Every structure is written in C-alpha cells, then in structure tokens.
Structure 1
C-alpha cells in the first residue's frame, strides 16, 4: 500500500481497525465462557504477510502487545494453506500466560498469502497443574 495519500491512509486505517473490532464483537457474541462473553477478556488484530500488525481493536493492551511475537512463532509453520489455524498459548512464544489462548489463521488473496488474523482470549481453566491453570 505504498504511495497512499494521508486521506487514503486514514481510510484504510479506519477500515482495518473496524474489521478488527468486528472480529472481537463476533468472538464475544459467540462465546460460552463468561470470561469472554461478560468480562470481554479478549483481543483481535490483523497482520500483514510479514507478521507486522496493521490493525487492532481497542481491547486488552497486554494481549495486543504480545500478539506479534505469537505471529512470528507460527510463521515458522509455513507453508500455509487456506483453512489452516494455529493455536498458541506458550508464554515463551508470544503468549502472556497459559489461560490466554490465541488462534492465528492465514488470509489468502488470489492464492497468495496476504496476511494473518488473530484473536486471543482468556479461558478460566485449561487443565494446568492448579486451578485456573496458574502455577
């Protein structure tokens, strides 16, 4: 998207941010977990094919700050195919803590990898050694 005027850049910024926001709205409405549905402990973002965040919704800042590292970790899973989804919650691979689970999916345009979409949501218990999946 090089060569954009400031007005065009502003339009693209608003468009992509609204898509990321809608990703979060849909996640919240579809969720069964009170952490996601009621507490809104989730985030959503859009990344380019190189893993750079291009849009984020105004959700949980700590999620959004760590998401690029999760994208970098799953980029190693290439080659990507349409329909692929990676699930990440490793705190050392861009996670925040074990109950924050990220879903990362590639986006294709005309058969070429165009970017990634991701959401991260806090789950009450994912089967860790102690209640709440916390050490």
Structure 2
C-alpha cells in the first residue's frame, strides 16, 4: 500500500482551496505503475476465470480505472480490446449522471451492470459493470 501525505485538497480557514502538493517524478511514476498494475490484474483475473473462450482466449474484454466525477479514463489494462476502453468512459459518465439525477447515495460495493447500446454500450452482447 502506498500512503502519500496530504494528497487531497483541503479548505483553508478562509474557505479557499489550498493547492495540492507537487508530486515528484519518482512518486508520480510509482503511482502510475501501481494504477496500471491494478487494471492489469483485473484483466488477468477475468481472463483466468472466464468460462467463455471468447473472453478467456481472445481477451474480448477490457478493464480500467475512471475519473469519479467525469468518467474519463485514467488507466486501462494492457490485455483487453482498446475499443471497450473508449466506450467505457461514456458508460461510466452515464452511471454518474443517473446517480446524480436520482439523488441516490453511493454505497461501498455497489455495482451497476447494463448493456443498453444507447447509454454507453456498444451492442446488446456487451455488458458493462461500473463499481464506484
């Protein structure tokens, strides 16, 4: 586990945002490598445990980590298909917008699964799982 001191924005006594501390190149590289490894391990876990040969052998899937507010791709796994990474950002954004519109609380462990091609999907056979 990597613990960085003061990596979140805080409010000063006057209510102004304080700037985030600068990351040195070594720390940035370590964080980048760790996030990429997380996405790669998600790929490896699915491909190793999948019963369907399309997923297990052809690696017809993709994983990544996405921005919590915008849904933009932060990192992606190296083994999956890149097309899914591009469409997944739209799927994550749709979940964020739906949750905000419903004023529903996000709870740890909630997982959203869907396959609507008009709401961030590609076609009906592709399922998206989003876990905030």
TM score, norm. by length of structure 2: 0.73
Number of the residue aligned with 2:50 = 31
Larger radius of gyration: 2
The alignment yields a C-alpha RMSD, in angstroms, of 1.4
Q: Supply the distance in 2 between the matched residues of 1:92 and 1:30 (Cα, whole angstroms).
A: 29
Question: Structure 2 regions of 5+ residues with no counterpart?
Answer: 1-6, 8-19
Structure having the higher strand fraction is 1
Name which structure has the greater RCO, CA cutoff 8 Å, separation 6+: 1
Following superposition, the deviation at residue 48 of structure 1 comes to 2.9
* Alpha-carbon distance in structure 2 between the residues aligned to 1:55 and 1:49: 13
Structure 2 counterpart of 1:89 = 115
Instruction: Name structure 1 gaps, 5 residues minimum.
Output: 107-135
> How many residues are aligned here?
106
Q: Distance in 1 between matches of 2:113 and 2:58?
A: 22
- Residue 4 of structure 1 deviates from its aligned partner by 1.2
The question of 1:41 aligning with 2:99 is answered no
